[in-house]
Chains A and B, each alone.
Chain A
Amino acid sequence: GAGVSQTPSNKVTEKGKYVELRCDPISGHTALYWYRQSLGQGPEFLIYFQGTGAADDSGLPNDRFFAVRPEGSVSTLKIQRTERGDSAVYLCASSLLSPGQGYNEQFFGPGTRLTVL
């Protein structure tokens, strides 16, 4: 596809359940980012992939959150034992990976709105 796609667009779950959110980046983009956007706030960084490996996972709030990118393309964000405070829009972005500095703009998907009841 032409842009970053995310599925599902909406996810409603119950407290304590497990959820998976999927991101399909722009073809050829080596860098992939996950952000979380709460109502009335800017996106907050969760995790960054360079190829298949998580180069920076310092934004993950706790060990209930985990993400993978096994083949260097599609990524899945996994949340265990969901809590009401996890409710937010989860955004995925991808970019080209320029040598050294990483100043290429990130292209964002439409997001997955997660609601934990």
Chain B
Amino acid sequence: AQSVAQPEDQVNVAEGNPLTVKCTYSVSGNPYLFWYVQYPNRGLQFLLKYITGDNLVKGSYGFEAEFNKSQTSFHLKKPSALVSDSALYFCAVRDMIPTGRRALTFGSGTRLQVQP
């Protein structure tokens, strides 16, 4: 079975400061990992993914995420937060094993609030 945990319901950060949104996962094999963002009354938008290779993945809007296999984590980061980054962020995982479910398993989401 695959699962994702986002331990923080909400993260508050001042504009211009670095931000981190935490995610840990559990899979049987190796993971495919994704971050999505959801703005009010909008669908989920893809930010970035980890498949293999470099542990630091760069994505849209200046976001990046660091894959840490030993800690089974995939934290989302941005060096300098913008007020417009305020939204709901979801981490998702898929197990790489051939018999694994192709659909994604999502975390419960973390609301990011960036204060001006």
* Co-assembled chains A and B: yes
Query: Pick the contact of B104 from A45, A58, A100, A111 — CB < 8 Å?
Result: A45
CB contacts (< 8 Å) of A110 on chain B: these are: 41-43
A-B contact count (CB 8 A): 65
CB contacts (< 8 Å) of B101 on chain A: these are: 45, 48, 56, 58
Q: Among B12-20, B63-71, B72-80, B106-114, which stretch is in contact with chain A?
A: B106-114
**Is B90 among interface residues, defined by CB-CB distance under 8 A?**
yes
- B58 CB to nearest A CB, Å: 14
Asked if A56 and B103 sit within 8 Å, CB to CB, the answer is: yes
Asked if A41 and B32 sit within 8 Å, CB to CB, the answer is: no
**Is A20 among interface residues, defined by CB-CB distance under 8 A?**
no
Asked if A56 and B102 sit within 8 Å, CB to CB, the answer is: yes
Given A91-B44, A101-B96, decide whether A42 and B102 contact each other with a Cβ distance below 8 A: no
**Is B86 among interface residues, defined by CB-CB distance under 8 A?**
no
List the 8 closest pairs (A to B, CB-CB), nearest first. A42-B106, A45-B103, A108-B43, A108-B44, A110-B43, A105-B46, A102-B102, A103-B32
